[in-house]
Amino acid sequence: MARAFAPGKCILFGEHAVVYGQPAVAVSINAGVEICVKRSDSWVLEGMPFEPSRHPHISHILDDIFQYSGVPLEIDVKSGLFSAAGLGSSAALSNAMGAALHELTNPGEKLDLISLARMGHSAEANAQKGRASPTDTATSALGGCIVVSGNRVKGAEHVFDAKLETPDGSRTWSISRAVIPEIDDVWLVLGFTGIGSPTGKMVAGVSKLLKEDPQKMVEIEAIGAITNAGLKALSEGHMEGVGEAMDACHERLRNIGVSCPELESLITAAKGHSLGAKLTGAGGGGCMVSLTREPKRVAECIEIAGGRPLISKFSSGGARILKQEN
Ligand code: MEV
């Protein structure tokens, strides 16, 4: 038997634009996905017969990455993330599955987080019809504050590069760790609209918009510039500046059509007690995020406005193998 955990993520700035090579900054959050795999007589997922076609991330890790041909497995998934909500639940699922399978097939062998991030990215790309940046999977695997960009980012510690053939051409990204001071007086409060929104559909929608109206590329480039400004504020520990960059990023995301009335209403509700607030992830539903010094107050405001709040430390650890329970 093997157990592993991978965290979800919150994109502070740069979602959607990162698919086109602009920078994005994301942090891992406290909540995530835990997977337990054990050898069994038949293939079981969550107590039900496992149907690979209904679980593309898990079957991609099993078949294409590990080329697993051992005895059937019983797979249990515990998720602390809202799903299809912009918190990287599928990336955390892929990473936790990859880590658990690594431990099952190579017990005690060190988990290579870069290989894990690559595995997760491959599973995401497979499920998102070839359009997926490595943001969610790298942040979930490595943990902390991660910068993903088409170019090397000055002032960040380069970790690895990722490449993908997409329907819009070949893409490469540089993945780095942001160098930031200790941040312990500011929290992230995520607010789930209750509307699930598949990332692949939202990413395809932006791609269609840019084809129909190439002028909209200005918004993508503006998100890139805002992300650079936000990253600078973050590295100086200037959290008011980080909040301002989040607000500015949200306006641009709205201009590319990925916000919705439910996100707007949660953002408005949180604004009064936030340094900044925006949608996070793919949009179209899913979650918003507030950066705040008053996490309980913001969580209340989100709840009153009809959302489901989740408070997280500013950033937390990455994917890990969990010790066996006795
Ligand atoms: C989804 O969490 C982030 C997007 O930028 C898609 C991606 O980076 O693959 C919308």
Only one residue has tokens 């950033």, namely: 315
Mean pLDDT for 200-228 is 96
Is residue 136 in contact with ligand 1, taking CB distance under 6 Å?
Answer: yes
Is residue 10 in contact with ligand 1, taking CB distance under 6 Å?
Answer: no
Is residue 101 in contact with ligand 1, taking CB distance under 6 Å?
Answer: no
Query: Residue 7: how many CA atoms within 13 Å on its side-chain side?
Result: 27
Is residue 295 in contact with ligand 1, taking CB distance under 6 Å?
Answer: no
How far does the centroid of ligand 1 lie from the alpha carbon of residue 135, in Å?
A: 7
Mean pLDDT for 166-183 is 90
What per-residue confidence (pLDDT) applies to 267? Answer: 98
Is residue 149 in contact with ligand 1, taking CB distance under 6 Å?
Answer: no
pTM for the whole structure = 0.93
Task: State yes or no: pLDDT of 326 exceeds 70.
Answer: no
pLDDT digits (tens, 9 = 90+) for 121-143: 988 888 877 778 899 999 999 99
Weakest mean pLDDT among 125-129, 201-205, 275-279:
125-129
Is residue 164 in contact with ligand 1, taking CB distance under 6 Å?
Answer: no
pLDDT digits (tens, 9 = 90+) for 221-267: 999 999 999 999 999 999 999 999 999 999 999 999 999 999 999 99
What per-residue confidence (pLDDT) applies to 325? Answer: 64
Mean pLDDT for 72-80 is 97
What the chain holds in terms of domains, given with CATH numbers, is: 2-180 (3.30.230.10), 187-313 (3.30.70.890)
How far does the centroid of ligand 1 lie from the alpha carbon of residue 203, in Å?
A: 7
What per-residue confidence (pLDDT) applies to 132? Answer: 81
How far does the centroid of ligand 1 lie from the alpha carbon of residue 280, in Å?
A: 9
pLDDT digits (tens, 9 = 90+) for 23-66: 999 999 999 999 999 999 999 999 999 999 999 889 999 999 99
138-171 per-residue burial string, b: 16 or more CB within 10 A, e: under 16: bbbbbbbbbbbbbeebeebeebbebebebeeeeb
Mean pLDDT for 69-94 is 94
32: β partners: 7
